[in-house]
Amino acid sequence: MGRATDWTLTVAERRAEKVGRFRRFTGSVRFRVTAVATVAVAGVLAVMAVVSVTAQSRALTGNLDDRITVSADELTVVLEGGTIPSSLSIGAGDEGFAQLVSPDGDVVAASERVAGAPAVISDPTSVSDSTQIRTVNGLPIGEDSEDDFRLLTRPVDVDGSPLVLVTAASLDDVNESVRVLTLTLVVVLPVVLVLFAALIWFVVSRALRPVEAIRAEVVQIGGDQLERRVPVPESEDEIGRLATTMNEMLERIETAHERQRRFVADASHELRSPLTNIRSELEVDLAHPASADPLATHRSVLEETGRLQRLVDDLLYLARSDAGVVPIGSARVDLDEIVLHEATRARSGSGPAIDVTDVSGAQVSGDTDQLRRAVRNLVDNARRHATSAVTVSLHENADTVVLRISDDGEGVPPDQAQRIFERFTRADTARDRDHGGTGLGLAITSDIVGRHGGSVELDDAPGPGATFVVRLPVP
């Protein structure tokens, strides 16, 4: 019983695998494009075949009608002249014939081919005053009685006697030509369709070959192989642009991954430093309790804890900013009040003087707390690195609010000017952990200002110290 069950499952699995392969095959772009193109072309070829057969049949039948009409016209001229030939000559070939029938149904004259045959029309009196041409079958003319004929009937007057002239020709040649054409199309068109489908399959396969190469390369790219890139075809088509775009995306992912890796490493290092200091001081006090100074240890631990708190707050903001969950308000904010408040706060301790005499009224649209944080970071950064003075100016122009914060310190080296707003970047030895900086303040300021539609940059004007310029749009 177990073996039978296993065999049944194996058969079911094989069947499911075959069905899966079939669905993947029929669901591929290659198959769908080929199928759609083939069906469309098959429809066009079918319509063209029907039109061609119909056109040929009508053309050949028209030619035959012209021939029997010309023969009828020639005989009409002779008959209306009062002469009835003993044998009616018709120029419609061996397959044609003519009869002159009286109203009583008697054959007055006929072609040699139908000599002695009865009248081919049963009711001569039903012939109207005009010429009529129609297709008939089963004429009483002997061996060819089952053939199709084109039959022309026309009333004629011979010396005052009303008679009916009949001219006819067989449709055998017409039908044979149509049959040959139909057979030819039935044989040729499927072959053409198969060749067309094969051509489409080949062309689509060749066109999709770069896509398959891209897919195969993407499958191999893992989290530790972000430096790899997909092959770019030489053709500057949609697939080439797709490959280029994917490589640009991979480059952005690699950059973001490397940035995240550096961020984690730098954050771990920054967090490790105050924790190491705290642990060292506590271990020294425990190892040498007699010489320990609890008050000094408490102050040091409190200072390191403050550094830890500021660092954690900065890291939390950047993490939320990267996740896109930092809300931006749209209220009107008096930026001059924020600047004056932060300058007053910074002046409350020891340090360089802060000049705010060039601060004028200015309003922007945004989030008060975030703008306050950005201004505080710039003021604290200038205060830490100033030698004796910090200068703050604020002006509102027609469409821009400009905030400038300068210090008279050593400034930023030119080769570090582009990196100053990156995370955990310290441009010189003065901008280190001993001065309270974490290397995140300017990065956070740049992020906040950017989210408010503005920009912050380091002024490259000659002079001592560093000058940071913030531009925000006027609401």
Give the number of C-alpha atoms closer than 13 A to the C-alpha of residue 39, restricted to the C-beta side: 6
State the pLDDT at residue 25: 63
Percent of the chain exceeding pLDDT 90 equals: 18
pLDDT band of 188, cuts 50, 70, 90: very high
Domains 1-220 and 238-319 are alike in CATH topology: no
pLDDT band at 437 (very low <50, low <70, confident <90, very high): low
Among 2-11, 122-131, 171-180, the range with the most confident prediction by mean pLDDT is 171-180
Domain 238-319 has CATH 3.40.50.1000: no
| Residue 327 pLDDT level (bands cut at 50, 70, 90) | confident
Domain boundaries 1-220, CATH class: alpha beta
pLDDT in tens, 339-394: 998 888 888 767 788 888 999 989 999 888 889 888 988 998 888 888 888 999 99
Whether the predicted pLDDT of 415 surpasses 90: no
**Nearest of 168, 5, 153, 162 to residue 80 by alpha carbon:** 162
Residue 180 has a pLDDT of 94
At residue 337, the pLDDT reads 92
| Structural contact between residues 425 and 439, judged by C-beta atoms closer than 8 angstroms | yes
Distance CA 256, CA 340 (A): 37
* SS3 call for 82: coil
Name the band, by pLDDT with cuts 50, 70 and 90, for residue 232.
confident
> Which class does domain 328-473 fall in?
alpha beta
Close Cβ partners of 157 (under 8 Å, ≥ 6 residues apart): 80, 163
User: What secondary structure letter does DSSP report for 28?
Assistant: S
Mean pLDDT to the nearest integer, 332-338: 90
- What is the predicted pLDDT for the residue at 22? 63
Show the beta-strand stretches assigned E in 287-384: 331-334, 353-359, 363-366
The DSSP symbol for 168 reads E
Percent of the chain residues past pLDDT 70, beyond the cut? 91
Contacts of 66 (CB under 8 A, 6+ apart): none
- Higher pLDDT: 186 or 128? It is 186
CA angle 193, 195, 200 (to 5 degrees): 95
pLDDT band, residue 6 (cuts 50/70/90): low
pLDDT of 475: 83
Following DSSP, what letter does each residue of 181-235 receive, concatenated? Answer: HHHHHHHHHHHHHHHHHHHHHHHHHHHHHHHHHHHHHHHH--TT-TT------SS
- What pLDDT is stored for residue 137 in this prediction? 84
- pLDDT band for position 438 (50/70/90)? low
Which residue ranges make up each domain of the chain? 1-220, 238-319, 328-473
Give the per-residue SS3 of 114-164: HCCCCCCCCCHHHCCCCCEEEEEECCCCCHHHHCEEEEEEEEEEECCEEEE
Residue 179 in this model has a pLDDT that exceeds 90: yes
Contacts of 410 (CB under 8 A, 6+ apart): 385, 428, 430, 465
Residue 79 · residue 158 · CB < 8 Å:
yes
* 195, two tokens: 């060749």
pLDDT exceeds 60 at position 91: yes
- 3-state class (DSSP) for residue 167: strand
Confidence of residue 20 (pLDDT cuts 50, 70, 90): low
